Amino acid sequence: MQTSQQSSEFRLENEPNPKKTRQSRSKIKVMLTVFFDYHGVVYSEFLPDGQTVNKEYYLSVMRRLRENIRRKRLDLWKNNSWILHHDNAPWYTSILVREFLAKNSINVIEQAPYSPDMTPCDFFLFPKLKLPLRGRRFESIEPIKENSKKELKALPSSAFKKCFEEWEKRWRMCIASDGAYFEGDKINLED
């Protein structure tokens, strides 16, 4: 599948736009949850079929994440120097989840309200995963999962490092715009 820029073509002013076939959206959907840091993926899982994301489910995800940090990032675990960032979805901010985070002394960076441009999954990870899969048809969920995992594993650690550098830039832009939505704005951070 081509991007709009790739499929653009020169035409005279009075010529009609070319006809393009439009692919219908897939009815097969799957949700991937990914936690990553400067070095790469720490933990990921697919939402089980029929499961809804709610505070109980997210609490179980937090437990699995915590265990993976203990196994994969031992230095961060020992010093309790890892920091969790998630957005303001109701299940993330539920009392049940907040109590778990407090009880386990898990440090959390708060998501600025109304700032979707501050979420690394939105500006970095999901576009990187979606692009190689774009335009492909899958008959079932399993090939979607397999291909998503393959693309996730293919991301080099340098991409994660760059993501966190970009995230820091976005913090500065959020501060410069007094917390307002800034995606696409031209903000001079030198002022």
Q: Which pLDDT tens digit goes with each residue over 38-95?
A: 999 999 999 999 899 999 999 999 999 999 999 999 999 999 999 999 877 888 889 9
CA distance 97 to 53: 13
Name residues whose C-beta falls within 8 Å of residue 166's C-beta, 6 or more positions apart in sequence: 123, 124
The overall average pLDDT reported for the chain is 84
More confident call, 70 vs 12: 70
CA distance 138 to 101: 38
